[in-house]
A and B are shown apart, each in its own frame.
Chain A
Amino acid sequence: MGKVVEKLVYERPKSLTDAHTHYCPGCTHGVSHRLVAEALDELGIRERTIGIAPVGCSVLAYYYFNVDFAEAAHGRAPAMATGMKRANPDRVIFTYQGDGDLAAIGTGEIVHAAGRGENITVIFINNAIYGMTGGQMAPTTLEGQKTTSSPMGRDISIAGHPLKMSELLSTLDGAAYVVRHSLHDVKHIRRARKAILTAFKVQLAGLGFSMVELLSTCCTNWKMDPVESLDWLRDNMVPFYPLGEHKVIDAVKDL
Chain B
Amino acid sequence: MARGRIEIDEQYCKGCRLCVSVCPQEILAISSRLNERGYMPAEIIDMERCTGCSMCAVICPDVCITVYRQVPLRQT
Contacts and interface: CB of A to CB of B under 8 A. Distances in A.
Interface of A: 2-13, 16, 20-21, 23-31, 33-34, 185-186, 189-190, 219, 225-227, 230
A30 B62 CA distance: 6
Q: Which of B5, B22, B62 has the largest number of chain A CB atoms within 10 A?
A: B62
Contact of B22 (A23, A29, A186): A186
Contact of A189 (B37, B58, B67): B58
Nearest to A26: B16
Nearest to A27: B61
Interface residues of B, number: 35
A110 B17 CA distance: 35
B66 A10 contact: yes
Given A4-B71, A30-B63, A10 B57 contact: yes
Contacts of B75: 7
Contacts of A6: 5, 68-71
A25 B16 contact: yes
Contacts of B57: 10
B66 A11 contact: yes
A161 to B, nearest CB: 30
Contacts of A24: 14
A10 B64 CA distance: 10
13 contacts: A2-B73, A4-B72, A5-B76, A8-B67, A25-B16, A25-B39, A27-B61, A28-B61, A30-B61, A30-B63, A33-B63, A186-B59, A189-B59
A7 B18 contact: no
A178 B37 CA distance: 39
Contacts, number: 93
Contact of B17 (A8, A30, A31, A225): A225
B14 A5 contact: no
Which of A5, A13, A219: most chain B Cβ within 10 A?
A5
Contact of B54 (A4, A5, A9, A185): A9
B70 A4 contact: yes
B65 interface: yes
Interface in B1-43: 4-5, 11-12, 14-18, 21-22, 37, 39
Nearest to A226: B16
Contacts of B21: 227, 230
A25 B14 contact: yes
Contacts of B62: 21, 30
Nearest to B64: A12
Most chain-A CB neighbours within 10 Å: which of B14, B57, B66, B71?
B14
